[in-house]
Amino acid sequence: MPAVIFDLDGVITDTAELHYQSWRAIANELGIPFDHQANNALRGLSRPQSLEKLLGPRSGDFTPAQKHDLLARKNDDYLARVAGMSERDLLPGVEPLLRSLRDARIPMAIGSSSKNATFVLERLGVTSYFEAVVDGLAAPNSKPHPEVFLLAARRLGVPPAGCVVIEDAEAGVAAAKAAKMRVIGVGPAERVGGADVITPTIAALDTQTVLSLFPARSAGPNR
């Protein structure tokens, strides 16, 4: 039985914008220019990786304790924003897709770099669709490392070749490819061009396209 592994941030909900607001507050405080384009380069990366990218050549100016403080404050700000989320923050087309995959009895998992994935899913009210939630706590090697997707596949009991990943991040597409999975990229080709199929939005993706990426079942007698 094949399976679908969803990234969370930027696929199920637009937390990319909330991450942006929280990082921008830190960047402003430090006098570092930060715009949406810079934020897009952080998609799929862990919190510490994101901070390193944001600090760039100034990374060496900060002690580990100062970085720890910046990360904690960024996350406090982000969590306050997530607390205000509800099912209204599901991206258009997500719930119909989840429902139709569930109706087709396709097992589903979340594979996210976020350590806040469980909280975000609860706020969105969609936890029950997923048989496994693998987050940045369970898989410390962040995307583009394949660990998060390989662990999700293992928890679903499906071999990697039977999994289709839905991702919005360049690092996430690379992680899915490294896991030897098929991948649907959500967003512009400049970002997710490495995917097998690209869709501008989840709303534009139909269930049939997802199912068409599953490996063909080998036909044969008594199978």
- Judged by CB under 6 A, the stretch of 38-46, 126-134, 191-199, 213-221 that binds ligand BG6 is 38-46
For the segment 85-114, give every residue that binds ligand BG6 (CB under 6 A). 112-114
Examine residue 13 and tell whether it contacts ligand BG6 (CB under 6 A).
no
Q: Which is nearer to Mg ion, 3 or 171 (CB)?
A: 171
Examine residue 135 and tell whether it contacts Mg ion (CB under 5 A).
no
Task: Please choose which of ligand BG6, Mg ion, none residue 5 contacts, taking the beta carbon within 5 to 8 angstroms, the exact cut-off set by kind.
Answer: none
CB of 105 to ligand BG6, least distance (A): 27
Whether the Cβ atoms of residue 38 and residue 144 lie closer than 8 Å to each other = no
Examine residue 136 and tell whether it contacts ligand BG6 (CB under 6 A).
yes
Task: Please choose which of Mg ion, ligand BG6, none residue 45 contacts, taking the beta carbon within 5 to 8 angstroms, the exact cut-off set by kind.
Answer: ligand BG6
Q: How far apart are CA 171 and CA 213, in angstroms?
A: 20
Residue 9 annotated among the catalytic residues of the structure: yes
For the segment 153-192, give every residue that binds Mg ion (CB under 5 A). 168-169
* Active site amino acids: 7, 9
Binding site for ligand BG6 (CB under 6 A): 8-10, 19, 42-47, 50, 75, 112-116, 136, 169
